[in-house]
Structure 1
Amino acid sequence: MVITVLEDSEVAEHVARVAATLGGRAEELTSDLVALYERELGHLVHDTEDMVSLLSASVYQNIDTALRIFQHGIDPTRVEAPAAAMEYARRLAQRGTPVIDLIRAYYLGQTAVLDEAMAEAARQVDDTQLLSAMMRGALTTTFAFIDRVTQQVVSAYQEERDRWLLNRSAVRAARVRALLDGGGTDLDATSAGLGYRLRGTHVGVIAWYPDGSAVGDALTRLEALTGELGARLGGDGRPLFVPHDELCAWVWLPLPGPAPDREWLRRALAEVESADSADGAVRLAVGEPGHDLAGFRRTHRQAQRVHALAQAAGERCARVLTFAEVGGIALMASDITAASAWVRDTLGPLATDDEQHERLRETLRVFLAGGGSYTAAASRLTMHKNSVQYRVRKAEELLGRPVAERRLDVELALTLCHRLGPAVLHRR
């Protein structure tokens, strides 16, 4: 037992000597690591003078801390990350540098310094058994130190990133709300502040997850999804993304050409989501394209109306709705209580919320949309012409009059039922 203690002490003594020698070369090692980062992670070095200076300070303090651990036998799991290292991580978070680059820098640095330490140990020690023991101890301690420090700097990075994004989003949201309320007459200055071109054509979108969706980090997912939709449209620049609440965002997509129709949006949404099995619940409400600032405001107001319609419809609503297809219905549904009362007055018992009356309403809606053709309705509904005639006759009985009377009102009421379902229907 005594021999083991003596052997451990001897190993620790020689490791401390190597650390002391390297300590005298800390500035040289720092320069070598910065040069290594320039080759492997060039964007960390080709930056502002302040950031490169902070990087150098972080590297130097990490090297100094690691070498002192060996010199004085400090427990690596109890050390705190150097101040410069923590601040550098925060600055990277503010600049949007991926956290993986920060982690990679630590492991590149660890490998480089261990190579220098082993070369120095080989120069000082001839005994291969002692040298092997020194290397094992150095590896164990170094990995413990790097694990400890990277946990702390990554935590600092994430906290700063969350804070930065929250503050940036708050400022952006305030600017956008001022624009929507009539402010921001200096388009160029406002565009620069938002990072989005207000001169041009935009399409407003409201993207959201329904309440109750089990989605982690919903806003990040929505931003990535709408960013991909914008890329597919080929617009000039990234979309403007403004969080509205934790499950909903206001978005403006720069539009280089014709507006996408609902079918294009539905397909694109499905394709984008296919890469992420956790998605599949996103909803989109889309305005009509608008030009410059007036269009920026108008397309958003339209998207808001469509969003309100979708919210009223609930789960049965289509995942993608455009103002082009439901604009009139969206305007009518702005007062859902009044719309419901009107539907019931117009359709009478036909507005009952059950499967039997739903079949009659849908048959009558398709019949009227097809110009009153039993043959066309039967083809679209994939049923016999006589069945269509029977259902239309039953619907007329419930209406208490021929469908030709107040036909426009009946069609609008049926469309409201189709879009909003139970929100405008009544139960027995």
Structure 2
Amino acid sequence: MNWMDSLRPTASGAAGGPASDPEIIASAEAEIGAPATAWAAEAAADIVRLVAEDFSLAGTPGMMTGTEREGCEASLLTTLIGLHRGTPAADIVAPRGAQDNVRLSVRQGVPIGSVLRTVWACHTRVQDALLAVIEREVPADRMVAEVRGLNAALFSYVNSYVSDLMRGYEDELSLWHGRLPAERLRVLTAILDGEEPAEDAERVLGLRLGGHHLIAVARPATSGHIPDRDAARQRFGTDAVQALGATGFLTIEHQGTTLFWWAFNTRPGPSVMSALREVPHPGWIQLAAGRPGSGLAGLRESHFEAQQAARVARLAPRQQFWGYDDAGMLALLIADPQGAARFVQVQLAGLLGPDQKLTDIRDTLRHFLLAGSSRIAAAQALHLATNTVAYRVKRASDLLGRPVNENQVVTLVALQLAHTFPQLMDAA
């Protein structure tokens, strides 16, 4: 099929480059060339966008898991490689990217009908794209034969893909509703304990361990009945995939908490924690997140940091989201709650109590010390007049019985503890 030699991407190419596994990209470049591979990546991105628009306009549910582009791109590359080699349909296997996408659809509750609609819709768009190339590149006297050959090959290939994907869907469904949750907990626990993952670890987890990871721990902020709890957690995890640019996620239940695990092909940028904080989540969920990490070591570090943040979250229920950057030092300070309470009561004697005036004085002094003893910066942060800040700082000094610039770090640490954990001020 000489017309394949004409496949070239546009000047801009696919946004962000190829979405497929590097292995299939390398295989495609070796077989059909880098330009045709880049064309396939760009075409797949356009196809997924158009299919999503078609479903939206028709009001028809599709398989929108967030990884459709990877699955479509891998299938298109596999198809082009097969066409170039003349591979019979019996030897064509659905690529890993497409199989991963279908497994994810099971975990996100996508019904089989939506999966089939998406597969056939993508097939139709692929067929249209390749026929457009043939119409442009193939002479009229060969046009009919080329079109017939392409249609026959594509139809047989997509039937092979559908058979493979349906088997994968059924296998994943059986696992998902059976022993899978316990198996995933077992695999994750072993990894966190420092063990090397078993050969089937990625299949059980449904995520690739060699990439980048972000772990968060969620706990219910209420002990009452929560309707549709599982569905709400899944919606939050799926929304976060889109907001963070993740390739997938899973949830694992353990000892009354939910572990959220997002996986990435490329290392998330520094804004990922802010993006996670902004993802809408149910009011009954309190979330504690570690920073993203790479590989198994990064997975363990992100989980450790999430657990540290969760320690703070349990004692500071007023705040719904805690990231490790904010919670790391507090977790160390609160590791001994009784000792922390005594420290606060000794260092802030004279400033303790629930009275609003005392609360205002403590908060003003905290901002004043955080701002490097700048009345102007503290006033701006609190939206107060500088004279008000000066008065409250002077009042704090009087109540403490010492200048506020004496042992500033100690005073600031005590103020931060009292602000985050007000129960320390009156702990026995």
TM-score (ref. length: structure 1): 0.56
Q: Map 1:87-98 onto structure 2 (within 5 A).
A: none
- Are 2:267 and 1:254 equivalent residues in the alignment? no
Amino acid at match of 2:345: R
Aligned residues: 266
Alignment equivalent of 1:183, drawn from 185, 188, 195: 195
Name the stretch that deviates more: 216-225 or 328-337.
Answer: 216-225
- Are 2:373 and 1:372 equivalent residues in the alignment? yes
Matches of 1:399 and 1:239 in 2, distance apart? 50
Structure-1 residue corresponding to 2:118: none
Please tell me whether the aligned partners of residues 341 and 427 of structure 2 are also in contact (alpha carbons under 8 angstroms): no
Q: Aligned in 2, Cα 1:166/1:370: closer, same or farther, shift over 3 Å? A: farther
Q: Deviations over 1:159-192 (max 9, x none)?
A: xx89953632111112111111122345x54223
Structure-2 residue corresponding to 1:199: 210
Q: Aligned in 2, Cα 1:184/1:280: closer, same or farther, shift over 3 Å? A: same
Please tell me whether the aligned partners of residues 219 and 243 of structure 1 are also in contact (alpha carbons under 8 angstroms): no
Alignment equivalent of 2:249, drawn from 236, 239, 257: 239
Please tell me whether the aligned partners of residues 190 and 197 of structure 2 are also in contact (alpha carbons under 8 angstroms): no
Please tell me whether the aligned partners of residues 215 and 302 of structure 2 are also in contact (alpha carbons under 8 angstroms): yes
Matches of 1:96 and 1:250 in 2, distance apart? 16
Alignment equivalent of 1:296, drawn from 277, 299, 315: 299
1:217 is displaced (CA, Å) by 3.3
- Are 2:310 and 1:307 equivalent residues in the alignment? yes
1:360 is displaced (CA, Å) by 1.0
Structure-1 residue corresponding to 2:184: 172
Q: Deviations over 1:294-340 (max 9, x none)?
A: 111111111111111011112x22x2211112211122112222211
Name the stretch that deviates more: 303-312 or 223-232.
Answer: 223-232
Deviation beyond 4 Å, 4+ runs, structure 1: 93-102, 161-164
TM-score (ref. length: structure 2): 0.56
Matches of 1:371 and 1:206 in 2, distance apart? 34
- Are 2:228 and 1:227 equivalent residues in the alignment? no
Q: Aligned in 2, Cα 1:410/1:191: closer, same or farther, shift over 3 Å? A: same
- Are 2:293 and 1:282 equivalent residues in the alignment? no
Matches of 2:292 and 2:276 in 1, distance apart? 14
Please tell me whether the aligned partners of residues 200 and 291 of structure 1 are also in contact (alpha carbons under 8 angstroms): yes
Please tell me whether the aligned partners of residues 212 and 293 of structure 2 are also in contact (alpha carbons under 8 angstroms): yes
Please tell me whether the aligned partners of residues 183 and 204 of structure 2 are also in contact (alpha carbons under 8 angstroms): no
Larger Rg: 1
Matches of 1:95 and 1:211 in 2, distance apart? 26
SS in 2 for 1:241: strand
Unaligned runs of 5+ in 1: 1-42, 44-92, 103-160, 274-278
Q: Deviations over 1:128-162 (max 9, x none)?
A: xxxxxxxxxxxxxxxxxxxxxxxxxxxxxxxxx89
Matches of 1:96 and 1:263 in 2, distance apart? 24
Matches of 1:215 and 1:285 in 2, distance apart? 20
The structure richer in helix per residue is 1
Structure-1 residue corresponding to 2:344: 343
Structure-2 residue corresponding to 1:358: 359
Q: Aligned in 2, Cα 1:283/1:259: closer, same or farther, shift over 3 Å? A: farther
Amino acid at match of 1:395: A
Please tell me whether the aligned partners of residues 333 and 339 of structure 1 are also in contact (alpha carbons under 8 angstroms): yes
Matches of 2:419 and 2:213 in 1, distance apart? 30
Matches of 2:285 and 2:291 in 1, distance apart? 20
Unaligned runs of 5+ in 2: 1-62, 64-104, 115-172
Amino acid at match of 2:397: E
Please tell me whether the aligned partners of residues 243 and 275 of structure 2 are also in contact (alpha carbons under 8 angstroms): no
